[in-house]
A and B are shown apart, each in its own frame.
Chain A
Amino acid sequence: KQEVTQIPAALSVPEGENLVLNCSFTDSAIYNLQWFRQDPGKGLTSLLLIQSSQREQTSGRLNASLDKSSGRSTLYIAASQPGDSATYLCAVKRNYGQNFVFGPGTRLSVLP
């Protein structure tokens, strides 16, 4: 059974800091991994999608890496801004089935 964990559960940083969010999964037989952002009471916004054959993806100030063999992904946020405050979730799709498994999320607060 695939299990996904995210560390830390919550993070508070001053504006301008670079930060790293971690996602770990127990079964390395994944098709892809997707990072999302969720604002309070809202749906999920897709940030980055990494296919199993890829090592990283970049979008603006965001960079996500994938190490499938060790079951880890990291989301790097450069020069954080108060508008980055949200919960960040990772989700993995296994090679079989359509069941996407989500982590519990990291709640990020960027203080002005």
Chain B
Amino acid sequence: DTGVSQNPRHKITKRGQNVTFRCDPISEHNRLYWYRQTLGQGPEFLTYFQNEAQLEKSRLLSDRFSAERPKGSFSTLEIQRTEQGDSAMYLCASSLNPGRQLGRGYEQFFGPGTRLTVL
């Protein structure tokens, strides 16, 4: 399977605990995005990596959130001291450098998501 994968698929945690999610992008994709989606809403942008560099962060990404992409491959998203308001689906997407994707620049491919429930 060459699609975007995310683990775990579901996570239930108690308020105040730390959680970490992993995203494995499509292997040749150098761009990686994290989004958060709550029920009935579209995904909201959190952060973006080009290779290993985190180039853009949303104001939604409070200081309790941190994301990494060591070596420009997989990425992790950590939430510290979780709150009930963090309950959501966390989605990862990847895309190719537009220069290598003629006519399809920045087309995003999404993983299945990680559903977080904070009790």
Contacts and interface: CB of A to CB of B under 8 A. Distances in A.
A104 B40 contact: yes
A78 interface: no
Contact of B48 (A45, A46, A98, A105): A98
Given A98-B33, A102-B44, A105-B42, A44 B103 contact: no
Contact of B91 (A34, A43, A97, A99): A43
Contact of A44 (B48, B106, B110): B110
Given A43-B111, A43-B113, A44-B43, A98 B105 contact: no
Interface in A16-70: 31-32, 34, 36, 41-46, 49, 51
A interface majority secondary structure: strand
A47 B35 CA distance: 19
Contact of A98 (B42, B55, B113): B55
Interface size bracket, A side: 20 to 34
B45 to A, nearest CB: 5
B29 interface: no
A31 B105 CA distance: 9
Contacts of A108: none
A32 B108 CA distance: 11
B112 interface: yes
A4 interface: yes
B69 interface: no
A100 B108 contact: yes
Given A44-B43, A98-B31, A32 B110 contact: no
Interface in B91-119: 91, 93, 103-113, 115
Residue of A41, A43, A98, A103 most packed against chain B (CB within 10 A): A43
Interface of A: 4, 31-32, 34, 36, 41-46, 49, 51, 89, 91, 93, 97-105
Given A89-B42, A93-B106, 18 more contacts: A31-B105, A31-B106, A32-B106, A41-B89, A42-B113, A46-B108, A46-B110, A49-B107, A51-B105, A98-B31, A98-B55, A99-B56, A100-B33, A101-B45, A102-B42, A104-B41, A105-B41, A105-B42
